[in-house]
Chain A
Amino acid sequence: MNALRCVLTVAGNTMREAIRSRVLYTLLFFAILLIGTGSLLSTLSYVERERILQDVGLAAIRIFGVAIAIFVGIGLIHREVDRRTIYTILSKPISRTQFLVGKYLGLVATLWLQLAIMAAAFAGVSLLAEAPFGAGHLAALSLAGVEFAVVVAVATLFSSFTTPMLASLFATGLWAIGHLSRDLRQLGLQSNDVVFRHVAQVLHRCVPDLSAFDLTSQAVHGLPIAASDLWIPWIYGMGWVVVLLGIASFVFERRDFR
């Protein structure tokens, strides 16, 4: 019970810190601006105006959400060590893992709050442009939230043992590979090069497949989305969160704070 209280206290404080960050508001402002710009871009085309509007809007939400996840996530632990605020916290009856999980949950909660704000802006722009907004869009937004949770876990892992600069490089690299790994695996399967086939296969297994969280196309085109299209990626994403935080905790528990 006390463990949960510790985790929630750290999470609450992380949310409070993130909400007071200017970087976050700047990114949120540009995200909403880009969602709004979608309606302007859609006027450039005579056909599929609604599709362009929603493509741009959902892409803006995902890109800015991931940007916030990486830029805030990479400093999540490092900032605490650098400012030495971690000394007083870890001298209290809280384990390092509880602290790490609390920091993680705080940032994920902040990102989901931001996602809700961006989703409301997206829904508003869609309704103004008389574009459809329904369950498919909500499903796509929900999986964007899972992708953010996975990316924050990646950033937290790197933040637990390296500098923000390296962590941002690693996290961005892993995010890019995560989006390409499915295509790479397909290429590998069609390739005659055994080494490339194996490398593509290993990459696909060892890196979160972030394209699994992309329902943009189905949502925008109004294609049917089965329940399994939602819950399987949710479980897959949460599985990766547990693995990534597990590794982060293993590293963090053994770290010396000099």
Chain B
Amino acid sequence: MKSGVRDVVVVEALEKTFRAGLLGRKKKVLDGISFRVGDGEIFGFVGPNGAGKTTTLKVLMGLIRASAGRATILGHDVAESAFRRQIGFLPENPYFYEYLTGREILRFYARVSGVPRAEIDARATRLLEWVGLSHAADARLRTYSKGMLQRTGIAQALVHDPKVVFLDEPMSGLDPIGRKEIRDLVLRLRETGKTVFMNTHILSDVETVCDRVAIIVKGRIRYEGGTHDFLDEGECMSDLVLQAVPPALGERLEADRLVVRGRGDRIELRVRDKEVGELLQVALAAGARIVSVSPHRRSLEEIFLSAVAHQESASAAGMPR
């Protein structure tokens, strides 16, 4: 994190243990996690399903009480409620009173959030426009699609003009168009100077919008740092498809063990990202045609393992994490 940047969210040694079953068996869901979110950042909280992301967010929202540790937002303990005027929250797969219209639900949340009466209608209209729901403002929420509900969720999170916005899996379950719309809205939040905390397990979302990330696996933070440091860790690969490949070039690529599939004049290769440019130049010079170049994204699991391995090797070498 940049020095001098004020910490908006501070989580220190947070633990949460649930009791399950008739015998009340204990299950530790958060195991002493710590991280910080700076002012104006888009912070990605990344982890596989069941890692503890939503539990952490629920602790921050005051929906769940921590068993141990400390969490503050804008310097306030998360158990307080008055400071929540300064935060907005979009839960995963948000549900609203479906008998209300888009405009009515925003009015309701604005009143609960303490927005001055005179400003409520204007703010609801402006936000509906901002999230692209003006056309459906007076339709009941039961008629909304999933993407429209997600946008309504973002609008309600912003209705009281909060400083920090918390989003739980904002793109999950949406079609590609819906995901792009939400991604654009998140980027626009940064432009308005808001701090955004985003839970997600979709790496491409992290790469596109987040400044910093923390990875949580099995209730423990495995990595915290800049998004690009995280994604650049290890080597990334790209898949190339070439056509009209001269035999000499084909043989050379096969000898270098770069060919994944195909023989003759159409072949598929997998190469390191940093070698893509050089290889394309060689192929073009030899008269081959480039059909496609697709960056091969490592799975989240692979990156987690890489992050954990990196952390462990750093510890073993006595390097600071």
Contact = CB atoms under 8 A, between A and B. Distances in A.
Given A17-B97, A85-B96, A85-B97, A91 B114 contact: no
B144 interface: no
Q: Could you say which interface size class chain A belongs to?
A: 20 to 34
A158 B62 CA distance: 22
Interface string A32-50: 0000000000000000000
B153 interface: yes
Interface residues on B, range: 35 or more
Contacts of B112: 6, 9-10, 89, 92-94
Contacts of B81: 93-95
B83 A5 contact: no
A254 B65 CA distance: 8
B35 interface: no
A91 B89 contact: yes
Contacts of A257: 58, 63-64
A148 to B, nearest CB: 23
A159 B63 CA distance: 17
A21 to B, nearest CB: 9
A218 interface: no
B130 interface: no
A78 to B, nearest CB: 14
Contacts of A13: 97, 100, 108
A87 B63 contact: yes
B91 A88 contact: yes
Contacts of B85: 92-93
Contact of A93 (B90, B95, B113): B113
Nearest to A86: B63
B263 interface: no
A169 B238 CA distance: 62
A94 B81 CA distance: 6
B295 interface: no
B61 interface: yes
Given A91-B62, A92-B84, A84 B91 contact: yes
B87 interface: yes
A184 B275 CA distance: 89
Nearest to B111: A9
Contacts of A86: 63
A6 B194 CA distance: 25
A83 B95 contact: yes
B123 interface: no
Interface in B69-104: 81-85, 87-91, 93-97, 99-100
A89 B61 CA distance: 10
Contacts of A87: 58, 61, 63, 89, 91, 94
Given A87-B91, A88-B89, A93-B81, A256 B109 contact: no
A84 B149 CA distance: 14
A93 B83 contact: yes
B160 interface: yes
Contacts of A95: 81
Contacts of B82: 93
A92 B160 contact: yes
A2 interface: yes
Given A6-B111, A6-B112, A86-B63, 12 more contacts: A2-B114, A5-B111, A9-B111, A17-B97, A85-B97, A91-B63, A91-B89, A93-B84, A93-B114, A256-B18, A257-B63, A257-B64
Interface of B: 18, 55, 58, 61-65, 81-85, 87-91, 93-97, 99-100, 108-109, 111-114, 153, 156-157, 160, 166
11 contacts: A5-B114, A6-B112, A87-B63, A88-B109, A90-B62, A91-B61, A91-B89, A92-B85, A257-B63, A258-B18, A258-B58
